[in-house]
Amino acid sequence: MSRILATGLKAPPRHAPRKLATTADVVQLQRMLTHALVRPLTRDEGLQEKWLDGRPMAEVADGFIKSNDRLTAFERLQLYNRMYWFRLLDVMHDDNPGLRALLGDRKFVKLIEAYLAKYPSRSFTLRNLGSRLAQFIGEQPRLTAPHTALARAVARFEWAQTVAFDAGSIPVLTAADLKLTPPSRLKIALQPYLSLLAPGWPVDDYVIAVKRRDALRTEASNAVDSARATKRRRQLPRPCRGRIYLAVHRYHNRLFYKRLERPAFLILAALAAGRPLAAAVAAGGCGLRPAQVSQWFALWMELGWLCRQE
C-alpha cells in the first residue's frame, strides 16, 4: 500500500525544486509535500522510511525540508505526517460511532487507514472526509467481512447525517407553486440535505443505541476510574435484518431520522429522480387513497422537504 498513489493525486516529482522561482516550482513542492503527508504511518505511528520509488525517506526529506538544531528533516516531516493522520482519524472516529461499534476499534482503524490511503482529504473542510467510505467498503469487502453489507448500510446512514447537518437548502415549495403547472408536468425537487435510505437493517435504532451507550460510558468515566469504566463497556448486539425506509433530514437546525411507509418512500424517490408529480404518485403503487397521499404531501411541505425544480 505504501507505494500506491492516492486516488486523484498527481504523481510527485522525483526531486523537489532547488528554489521557488516560479509558480510551477511552488506547485511541485506542494505536490511533493502532499504525497509525504498522506502516506500511511508505520505500525509504530511514524513516517515511512522509504519514499515511493524506494529511496530512503531521510534522503528525500533533506531535499525539501530544513533540519534545525533539535530535529532532522525526517523528524520534522514526521511531525506533520503524524498530525495529518491523527486529526483525520479523530474526525472519522467521531463521525462514525455506529460503524466503529459494529467493527470494533481495531478493525475500524484498519478500515479507515486503508480508506484514507486511497481517498485522502481533497476538500478545504473535513466535513467531506467520509463521503466515499460506503463506496470504499464495497471496493474492499475483506476489511469488513463477514458484515460488509451491514457495514455499508451503517456507513451510508452516518454519512447521511453529515449531509443533513450542514448541506445547503433551497426555497421550499408553496401552495401557489402547485397551481402554476399541471401535475402531469410539474416536477418537484427534494432538499439537498434530505437523504432517502432503504437499508436492510434498522440502522437508525442501532446507531441511537450506540450513541446512548457511549453517552452513558462518558458519564461513568467522569465519575469513576476510566479503566474500570472501560471494563464495563457493553457490546451491543448487531441488528437483525429488517427492511425499513428512512428519511434523514434536519428541521429547525436539528437532525432527525424519520421512518417512512414504503409507498411514501417510493413517491419521494421518484420525485428525487426527476419524475413529474403525477408519475411520482403513481410510483407509490396501487391502492393509495387520495387523502393519504394528500396528508403525506402536507407533512412534507410542512417539514420543508419539497422544492420547485428549476
Q: How many structural domains are present in the chain?
A: 2
Residue 284 lies in a domain: yes
Domain endpoint, select from 90, 125, 160:
90
Domain endpoint, select from 90, 116, 147:
90
> What number of other Cβ atoms are within 10 A of residue 26's Cβ?
12
Residue 156: pLDDT band by 50, 70, 90 thresholds?
very high
Claim to verify: residue 175 and residue 291 sit in the same structural domain? yes
Domain endpoint, select from 61, 90, 119:
90
Q: What is the CATH number of the domain that holds 298?
A: 3.90.930
Give alpha helix (H) positions in 72-225: 73-95, 97-103, 105-118, 133-139, 148-166, 175-180, 203-223
Claim to verify: residue 77 and residue 182 sit in the same structural domain? no
Contact in structure between 126 and 116 (CB atoms under 8 Å): no
Claim to verify: residue 79 and residue 190 sit in the same structural domain? no
Residue 6 lies in a domain: yes
Contact in structure between 259 and 201 (CB atoms under 8 Å): no
36-57: per-residue pLDDT in tens? Answer: 999 999 999 999 999 989 999 9
9-45: per-residue pLDDT in tens? Answer: 788 888 888 888 899 989 999 999 999 999 999 999 9
* Among candidate residues 46, 130, 51, the one with its CA nearest the CA of residue 88: 130
Grid cell listed for 168:
445547503
Claim to verify: residue 275 and residue 182 sit in the same structural domain? yes
Report whether pLDDT(3) > 60.
no
Report whether pLDDT(130) > 70.
yes
Q: Which residues 6+ apart lie within 8 Å of 15 measured at CB?
A: 63
Claim to verify: residue 86 and residue 177 sit in the same structural domain? no
Report whether pLDDT(137) > 60.
yes
187-217: per-residue pLDDT in tens? Answer: 899 999 999 999 999 999 999 999 999 887 6
How confident is the model at residue 230, as a pLDDT? 47
Q: Which domain holds residue 292?
A: 168-202+240-308
